[in-house]
Chains A and B, each alone.
Chain A
Amino acid sequence: MELQVADADYGTILQQASGTWQGGQVVGLLGPNGAGKSTLLRLLAGLWRPSHGRVTLNGQDLRNLTSRQRALQIAYLPQELPEDIAYTVKEFVEMGMYAKRGLWGGLSATHRRLVPEALDSLNLGRYMNTPMASLSGGERQRAGLARCLVQGSPIFLLDEPTANLDLYHQLDILNRLGTFAREGYLVVLAIHDLEMAARFCTTLVLLANGKILVQGEPSKVLTEQRVVEVFGVPVRRFRDPYGDFIRFSFLQGELKSQASAVIRRLEEWV
């Protein structure tokens, strides 16, 4: 399983994006708002076509696949689901299996069983017959993940899947995505939390102003210097005393213009 983007542009929103990612990886897309994370995800999902360059799945151009063929390989979860979905949670999750429906739109018993399993695994089992519209933001997000699970595609593209979740469910989802990756899935997710990204992703891609600045191992990508440059927030990086994780201490109240001065002062200090 290999997803590759080669020199792809999407207008001025994303420029010269390149990268190759394989099954087994959890790839975190990091960057400030408007950096091009969601655009990159949509290009990878084949929903948008690059104005230049190409996106390939196992060497085959995504443009040459039908929507159905693509959906069997790639599950995509957008950042926001509509709030007023009138369908029940069960009906909504079943929509993930659209590509597996038979000629007359029926689902096999095996496929039907996947829905309660997926919902139970995301602690949503009791909401099976509840309308989506009456779920909270975090529950809706988890229902979206359940839909991706039943889609059964080996590639997950998730746009900020942990954005509305409480701490327990953030950790739960990220752990689960890690498990999928170890089973051979490729997970690509946009994420804002630097520490969570560093802890749960195997690869990080740092974007700013529509360009990929750097990609690689979390510890190499997330240097203090880059965080200041990209996010405009001066930080100190340190090792979590309770485990082998990267942690950041954010220096409060400092603006981008002052950031380099702060860094210099810090360096003199240390």
Chain B
Amino acid sequence: MHRYIIRRTLQFIPMLFLVTVVVFALAKAAPGDVLSGEMLDPNIPHEVLEERREALGLNDPLPVQYWSWLTSVAQGDFGNSMQYTGRSVMDLIQSRIMNTFYLSLFALGVTLAIAIPIGIYSATRKYSLFDYGATTFAFLGLATPNFFAALLAIWLLSFQFGWFPAQGSTSAIGLTGFELFIDKLRHLVLPGFTLGLASTAMYMRYMRTEILEIKGSDFIRTAQAKGLSNNSVLYKHTLRNALIPIITLLGVEFGLLLSGAVITENVFNYPGLGTLFLNSIQNRDYPVIMAINLILAVSILVGNLLADIFYAVVDPRIRYD
């Protein structure tokens, strides 16, 4: 067990290294550097900029530059934004990251709360009307582009019925405590559901298939043969095993939701990392772009690591490979 976790963690380190190399390479491939913003200022002579480049180490060999970049990034210093002069990248990210985190968490919660019960019910009543309904929903959910679902939701639930707000993360300023919480939650509903739509559809199918597969295995027949009730067989034997792969997929899913948030946040004008990212892409604000790339890649990497470790904890079979 411990050996598995240690081995898995050791695999994490070279991947982390590679991710930082790729992001650094992208940053170097991008036009301009930290001082590009100041190049437009005619009062600063060209030679001064060259001197400052030299002082900042921008003329050093690449490995040296990589190392100094890595050490500053490790301390949370991503440099300054090119678009919002004077604001550090870290500052911009800190103002947005929690919103995206809440959104992804909400979407993940919606996914699990819908997909697992419906998947179970579909599997226990295979080929019933309910099962066909759920399957139809799953097919539609997987085929609808995220942004189109978002637009439909705004059009129908916000404009026609007026149930939920369509834009932003809060409506009025000055709300506090519980009211603020409810307000934020209301703003999360539409983006959260549309962001979670595809994964809900996918997990629903996955859950159903998984349960049906396990139902056919020998230990389920044994459990039934010794006279356990249907519920007991379902919840204690089938479900426990069916949930294992689902839970491990969550680590991966969270990362996917984080990057899917780029498009969803854009439609809902939700002030998260996704809107910041698109805005930075539009304005070619490379330091911000690279920082978000790195943060998301590392989140996905950590998510995968935690999922694998969790898998080993709940399923003893995995430790002895």
Q: Do A and B come from one complex?
A: no
Residues of A whose CB lies within 8 Å of any CB of B are none
